[in-house]
Structure 1
Amino acid sequence: MAATSSEFHDSNINNDGLPLVFYHCGQKYRGIPFREWIGTRYRLLEPSDSTFPTLSCSVRVLLCVGISEVTSEILDQLPSLECVVGSSVGVNHIDVAECCRRGIKVTSAGDAFTEDVADYAVGLLIAVLRRLSSADRFVRDGMWPVKGEYPLGLKLGGKQVGIVGLGSIGSEIAKRLEAFGCIIAYNSRKKKELVTFPYYETIHDLARNSDALIVCCTLTNETHHLINKEVLTALGKTGVIVNVGRGPLIDEKELVQSLLHGEIGGAALDVFENEPHVPEELLALNNVVLSAHKAVTTPESFSALVRVIVGNLDAFFAKQPFLSEVEPI
């Protein structure tokens, strides 16, 4: 039997006076204390709750924690769903096309992580150019007194840096690198009308004209393995690559082979294809900097994220424009 209007209202504005939100959190994200942060503003409903069978049919909004997958099967459990509020910049873990087909709005983290990721990307670029990670190991392993001077790294200033994906994060990276005296070019889905940096229509051409590539675009079916063997070859023996986007943007097997055979100069990676698993070959390479998918995470960025999430949830219940709605596919 369909819920009456009064039952529908009661299930979304509960007896405790809090709006009802389906809390979709995969096991690996249980350590993120969203319940603590927003549990006083909303009633968070999970499948394990005893009331889930009763309330699931009238839940109108889903909060997706981290990159927990939102599939058509999950959407089927929530027939009244109108909105998926995301907590990450990328939304490849959400079946956006299916949401659009069902008339379900999707939001993302917006600019909550933008500055932190941009800072991290520049830090990784400096680290791989100046070989900071291997220099640290060189000292810790007691090699300085034994082997003498550590090999020289490369200067950042004056380098031609190609940015793959000139969205909000890519733009902040460009701003920071300009201050170092870098020469910026970019590739995006389309040329940005108000941007003066040189635009390359293909990643291959961008790589061929760059000393370094920074990958920060969205992962989609079209951008999966965007960085392939041909792009890495175009980057060349002295070129380096930084990835702060998503692991599958790079063909990881081809990257490993290019590094092992000296076909590119180095890599700095915060993301990987099969996290938390990292190819063993990368662990021993001195021209590789590795990080555990932490470019987005600072106390400040989490505070900004909570503001965006709360803003989007409040906007939904107040029938106001979202802070960071994802464009329909």
Structure 2
Amino acid sequence: MLTTHEDTAMSDCSTSHKRHYEYTYRLPTPPRIVVPPPTLSADIPELSVGRVADTPDGEVDTSFLKEQNLESVVQKNMLLEWSYERRRQAQMILPWLYLGPLTAAKDKEFLVRECITMTLAIRPRETSMNGALHVGKELDLETGTIEASNYFTLISNFSRATKMINRHMAKVRQLTAAGGSPRMGKVLVFCESGNEKSAATVAAYLMETLDDFDHVKSMQVCQAQRFCVNFDDTVKNILRSHWDILTARRAVASSRVGILRSTPLPSSLQSVEPLLNSPNNSTSRQKRTIEDIIDDDDMEMDDGMDPSDKLRFSGRDITPFQDSR
């Protein structure tokens, strides 16, 4: 009888046992995040500014963003119209937000034509992209920078970038309203290629500003508007982590100020609504310790199993080998 490599991988085990699951020889990886590509038949997510955008940082009022009509913003036929030359140009993601490469931030004609009022550079170090920032200053535009040498540094700056954009929007609105003709500012977010770090920053902005807009929808809209963006597995998982942070942050904020009965929760928070509305819910309530669980007379201790192990392993079939007899 021939013995395969898989059968001999545990050669020092007794032959009376056989493997319960198939062997795998690759490194453990997180589940793949699938982003539906823009096609002619794909359903584009609906865009609407959420209630979170009213006071994103408690300092500025961006409720005027709700006045924007976002129904026809996302292009339906980008796949047919896209050409390679458009990689060097910037595309509109929202009426007040553009995404593009470094060359677009240096294009004075484009900046004037599109009425850009701020350029935000996502750069690896402080000495990068100074030429593009100098062009913005020559045109009397507001300039901002986010320094991120890698994606893991960038995730801590997502909310900072959102605040910078919204503060500028509120500033332009306030200044133009004082002159009698209020108008919207426009922000160009760019990096070297316009396809990686700046695209991730814009996707994070969509998650924080739009109503019930998760990481998949945000990446899908960015890709529909700028077909050449590159969301690899690392970026996808970082954006998913940021969405989890936003969801937790909003749940905590809702539990503190209370939820208005007349305003329905977005689907991302419906699962936590019963917990938030529970009469026993209190932010000052002390959590039970493991000692309290062990001393609880109501808990049955089967087979002498520790309660923490019982919660983790009860009902799970994780036996790697089983008796073949």
| Global fold match (TM > 0.5) | no
Greater share of residues in helix: 2
> TM-score normalised to the size of structure 1?
0.24
Higher relative contact order (CA 8 A, sep 6+): 2
